[in-house]
Amino acid sequence: MTRFSSSVNSLRSSEIRDLMSLANKPDMILFSGGMPDNNLFPLHQIDEIYNNLTEKEKQIAMQYGPTSGIPELLTSLKAFLKKKGLPVDENKLMITTGSLQAINILAKAFIDPGDTIVVENPCFIGAISAFKSYQANIVSVPLTAHGIDLEQLKETLANAEQKPKFVYLTPNFHNPAGTLYTLETKRALIEILSNQDIPLIEDDAYSDLWYYEEDKEHLTTIKAMNPTGIDVCYTGSFSKILGPGLRLGWMLVPEHIYQKCELIKQAVDACSPSFTQMLAHKFVESGAVYNYIDDVRIQYKQRAETMVAALQKNLPEGITFTAPRGGFYIWLQLPENIDSTEILKKAIEKGVVFVSGKTFDPHGVKNNNLRLSFCNTPVDKINEGIPLVAEAIKDEIKRK
Amino acid sequence: MTRFSSSVNSLRSSEIRDLMSLANKPDMILFSGGMPDNNLFPLHQIDEIYNNLTEKEKQIAMQYGPTSGIPELLTSLKAFLKKKGLPVDENKLMITTGSLQAINILAKAFIDPGDTIVVENPCFIGAISAFKSYQANIVSVPLTAHGIDLEQLKETLANAEQKPKFVYLTPNFHNPAGTLYTLETKRALIEILSNQDIPLIEDDAYSDLWYYEEDKEHLTTIKAMNPTGIDVCYTGSFSKILGPGLRLGWMLVPEHIYQKCELIKQAVDACSPSFTQMLAHKFVESGAVYNYIDDVRIQYKQRAETMVAALQKNLPEGITFTAPRGGFYIWLQLPENIDSTEILKKAIEKGVVFVSGKTFDPHGVKNNNLRLSFCNTPVDKINEGIPLVAEAIKDEIKRK
């Protein structure tokens, strides 16, 4: 009866969201969410920041701000990004309502229904939803341990019926795969995309959460490499380095792309929350952000290494994974004939929850993987929960 | 060279946004913006609220929340809306990142490129941008002093080549026209739309800002009248009753429409800011919102009456307007041959700024109106600025 648009009819609720109610049970061990640990938020710093705001700053916080962001945060965030080597002066910065909004706005700027775009497989679920909501024809290229499969990417670009509108990648600590692209992969990627008239959306929500000094050269973002002949649209987020409840992310993009994105943003929500922008500004400007990242990096590294050790001890033969070098996730590779949704059902019975592989398949099919998040689970719970996951896997392997 | 989507190519920057830089000059008298006065924000209440949050509440504030909103705010806002007679139990409530996002999500839920929708003329600029961004075929129906022109609406619906996907209206204290629909108009409207399979988007950002007790019966929202045979999608906002910098609005819609809107919201920004939701929740739950509305209502009424008096004293013959009964705006009707952009240029030279009429024409043409906001200008500045506006009008009339 109700005549909805064709684009909304292409959207489906995902398994992970259907499972949200389970995740709320108090005694369930959660390896499912991509949210920081509630106990790691810098509450004392935010208290101090709030209580030191002047009346004028509080007024700014309560008022509409410019579409691109409040000038205070634009200035301090530019300095933060410049330290990461990003070309802030040659590009335009826009504060967005979370980095998902940045990705969504870029999707709207480029995608007409039926347009081809290229993503990794697996892929961040929020990006998949955004691209589907504009009825993109999503073509996916597998991830290897070093980054996107370059040969398959070349083939995909050569054989695409329509030139892709963009390529969307998460080179640093991929969600869900945890992968860190090597510098060589990044360089080879630049060569492939250069002068192809195909913009690159580089999702960089996790690069501050590296664990090992020796990885630093690989962490350089493609945007910071300033490749010629590629419009790199760089997106980032405060969700992992301050708090997702602030709903603040950003895009750093070439001027001509920015112009279009600003018009879209004006029609979407006019501006991002000034209130949380003011808090984020003070957090960055004061330098508190650097100490905070140093602190949480240690916590997440410890959790990652705990989970890796527990997996190595408990997993049966034939299950593989790459130990993460940063970020929030471990991605288990299961035998071809195993369905991770079946494992998930068993795991929930045992009191532990994760996310099944097909959630991150842009085509919603491939299900012999699963994602374990260690970001919001303390070490003792990781040691308690991983044996239960391993048991569920063993049960399912036995059943097959 | 860059291959943007066709939808983004249909978006244009508006005159009001091009003039934003002027609005920043310190001595300019501003009748342009639709923002509350910085000096009217309830900063002390927000201080008290923030400093009384428990650690657990602060953690919720920093974390992702459910797509529909944090449960705390959903509960307190439902009670607030119930007091306004809204059918909260028979519908679903979603917190959005400003009410513009609610309108944008509804637009995405219904509009395919080329689809016809019906709006008032003039119309809220944010809604025009949202509808254009989905390439709607916008058909407009004039406003009268009592609300939308019912005869023309009937004709429009009867003659539309394609049945409109929805009708978008602001019955209470229209932006920019200031109009309050009479109860009779609302009833007649319900009769026209009933069982037509055309949803109504009722934008109710201003209804708390009524000035006169005797108008109360006319303030009943169409949603609260619970009309049978019309899917009323009701939208509201914290921007005028707390602060736009929080970026919080809402939609109250039938369940089957909510389901689609939730999927869209998941792809847009995942959830609205938990941080500002927690503050808004406390502001509503404590009852502070009611006292605050009572206070600002008095302020805005005084400003409105001051502006009306100044206009009556200074305007030349042939310029008409309806004295507002609430809200933020006065809409001047100029002679047919007068172009308000020309007046605006002269006004800016004199040190006062407003918004030209065509900004609010969905077709961007009709320009013999102008919008004066009295919401963020104190009484003495209104008395100083209105004679300058009147002079600019006289100058332009003389020139013609």
pLDDT band at B24 (very low <50, low <70, confident <90, very high): low
pLDDT at A316 over 70: yes
- The string of pLDDT tens digits covering residues B271-327 is 999 999 999 999 999 999 999 999 999 999 999 999 999 999 999 999 999 999 999
Pairing type for strands B200-203 and B232-237 reads parallel
How close does chain A come to B189, measured CA to CA in Å? 20
Establish if B1 belongs to a structural domain: no
**In the 8-state DSSP scheme, what is residue A269?**
T
Q: Which of B134, B245, B279 sits opposite A274 (nearest CB)?
A: B245
How close does chain A come to B174, measured CA to CA in Å? 19
Domain boundary among A288, A322, A349: A288
Q: Are residues A84 and A126 in the same domain?
A: yes
Q: Find where tokens 């990242």 sit.
A: A293
Nearest residue in B to A2, CA atom: B197
Instruction: Tell me how many residue pairs between chain A and chain B have CB atoms under 8 A apart.
Output: 240
Backbone angles phi and psi of A89, in degrees to 5: -80, -25
pLDDT at B23 over 60: no
Domain boundary among A260, A288, A316: A288
Q: Are residues A130 and A160 in the same domain?
A: yes
- B133 to A264: CB separation less than 8 angstroms, yes or no: yes
According to the model, what pLDDT value does residue B390 have?
Answer: 98
How close does chain A come to B172, measured CA to CA in Å? 22
Map A223-258 to HEC letters: HHHCCCCCCEEEEEECCCCCCHHHCCEEEEECHHHH
pLDDT band at B17 (very low <50, low <70, confident <90, very high): low
- A267 to B126: CB separation less than 8 angstroms, yes or no: yes
pLDDT band at A14 (very low <50, low <70, confident <90, very high): low
Domain boundary among A273, A288, A303: A288
- A62 to B246: CB separation less than 8 angstroms, yes or no: yes
pLDDT at B59 over 90: yes
pLDDT at A191 over 70: yes
Q: What range does the domain containing B377 cover? A: 6-41+290-399
Nearest residue in B to A113, CA atom: B5
- The string of pLDDT tens digits covering residues A343-377 is 999 999 999 999 999 999 999 999 999 999 999 99
Nearest residue in A to B63, CA atom: A245
- A263 to B199: CB separation less than 8 angstroms, yes or no: no
What percentage of chain B exceeds 90 in pLDDT?
92
- The string of pLDDT tens digits covering residues B195-251 is 999 999 999 999 999 999 999 999 999 999 999 999 999 999 999 999 999 999 999
Q: Are residues A238 and A313 in the same domain?
A: no
Mean pLDDT of A32-45: 95
pLDDT at A295 over 70: yes
**Which residues of chain A have a CB within 8 Å of the CB of B6?**
112
Mean pLDDT of A274-298: 98
> What Rg, from alpha-carbon coordinates, does chain B have?
21
pLDDT at A250 over 80: yes
| DSSP assignment string, B302-351 | HHHHHHHHHHHHHPPTT-B-PPPSBSSEEEEEPPTT--HHHHHHHHHHHT
Are residues B119 and B362 in contact, defined by beta-carbon separation less than 8 angstroms?
yes
User: From CA B272, how far away is CA B246, in angstroms rounded?
Assistant: 10
**Which residues of chain A have a CB within 8 Å of the CB of B130?**
267-268
pLDDT band at B187 (very low <50, low <70, confident <90, very high): very high
According to the model, what pLDDT value does residue A99 have?
Answer: 97
pLDDT band at A18 (very low <50, low <70, confident <90, very high): low
Q: Which of B11, B12, B256 sits opposite A2 (nearest CB)?
A: B256
**Which residues of chain A have a CB within 8 Å of the CB of B230?**
none
pLDDT band at A10 (very low <50, low <70, confident <90, very high): confident
Q: Which of A111, A264, A269 sits opposite B98 (nearest CB)?
A: A269
Tokens of A153: 């990417």
- A101 to B126: CB separation less than 8 angstroms, yes or no: no
**Which residues of chain B have a CB within 8 Å of the CB of A98?**
269-270
What percentage of chain A exceeds 90 in pLDDT?
92
Q: Are residues B200 and B294 in the same domain?
A: no
Backbone angles phi and psi of A4, in degrees to 5: -80, 165
How close does chain A come to B378, measured CA to CA in Å? 16
Mean pLDDT of A208-221: 96
Q: Are residues A294 and A304 in the same domain?
A: yes
Establish if B22 belongs to a structural domain: yes
User: From CA A271, how far away is CA B205, in angstroms rounded?
Assistant: 17
**Which residues of chain B have a CB within 8 Å of the CB of A104?**
267-269
According to the model, what pLDDT value does residue B12 have?
Answer: 78
**Which residues of chain A have a CB within 8 Å of the CB of B283?**
none
> What Rg, from alpha-carbon coordinates, does chain A have?
21
Q: Are residues A266 and A155 in the same domain?
A: yes
Are residues B221 and B234 in contact, defined by beta-carbon separation less than 8 angstroms?
yes
How close does chain A come to B165, measured CA to CA in Å? 7
User: From CA A229, how far away is CA A248, in angstroms rounded?
Assistant: 29
According to the model, what pLDDT value does residue B9 have?
Answer: 81
Question: What is the rounded average pLDDT for all residues in chain B?
Answer: 95
**Which residues of chain A have a CB within 8 Å of the CB of B11?**
260, 263-264, 267
Task: Return all residues near A178 (Cβ < 8 A) that are at least 6 apart.
Answer: A322, A324, A325, A327, A329, A330, A331
Nearest residue in A to B51, CA atom: A47
According to the model, what pLDDT value does residue A122 have?
Answer: 98
Establish if B300 belongs to a structural domain: yes
| DSSP assignment string, A323-352 | PPSBSSEEEEEPPTT--HHHHHHHHHHHTE
According to the model, what pLDDT value does residue B20 have?
Answer: 53
pLDDT at A126 over 80: yes
Q: Are residues B362 and B234 in the same domain?
A: no
Q: Which of A104, A111, A276 sits opposite B268 (nearest CB)?
A: A104
Mean pLDDT of B49-53: 98
- A243 to B62: CB separation less than 8 angstroms, yes or no: yes
Q: Are residues B48 and B37 in the same domain?
A: no
According to the model, what pLDDT value does residue A29 have?
Answer: 94
Establish if A47 belongs to a structural domain: no
User: From CA B243, how far away is CA B223, in angstroms rounded?
Assistant: 24
Q: What is the CATH number of the domain that holds A134?
A: 3.40.640.10
- A245 to B62: CB separation less than 8 angstroms, yes or no: yes
Q: Are residues A227 and A376 in the same domain?
A: no
- B276 to A271: CB separation less than 8 angstroms, yes or no: no
In chain B, how many domains are there? 2
Establish if A48 belongs to a structural domain: no
- The string of pLDDT tens digits covering residues B163-182 is 999 999 999 999 999 999 99
Q: What is the CATH number of the domain that holds B352?
A: 3.90.1150.10
Establish if B175 belongs to a structural domain: yes
Establish if A13 belongs to a structural domain: yes
pLDDT at B8 over 90: no
Q: Are residues B307 and B198 in the same domain?
A: no
Q: Find where tokens 């923002």 sit.
A: B35
**Which residues of chain A have a CB within 8 Å of the CB of B33?**
64
Q: Find where tokens 């960055």 sit.
A: A284
Nearest residue in A to B47, CA atom: A51
Are residues B121 and B362 in contact, defined by beta-carbon separation less than 8 angstroms?
yes
Q: Which of A8, A63, A268 sits opposite B263 (nearest CB)?
A: A8
pLDDT at A384 over 80: yes
Q: Are residues A220 and A332 in the same domain?
A: no
According to the model, what pLDDT value does residue B67 have?
Answer: 96
Query: Please, what is the Cα angle at A255 between A251 and A259, to 5 degrees?
Result: 80
- A274 to B20: CB separation less than 8 angstroms, yes or no: no
Nearest residue in A to B48, CA atom: A51
pLDDT at B10 over 80: no
Are residues B209 and B327 in contact, defined by beta-carbon separation less than 8 angstroms?
yes
pLDDT at B70 over 60: yes
pLDDT band at A331 (very low <50, low <70, confident <90, very high): very high
According to the model, what pLDDT value does residue A163 have?
Answer: 96
Q: Are residues B13 and B100 in the same domain?
A: no
Mean pLDDT of B9-19: 68
Establish if B145 belongs to a structural domain: yes
According to the model, what pLDDT value does residue A11 have?
Answer: 82
**Which residues of chain A have a CB within 8 Å of the CB of B100?**
267-270
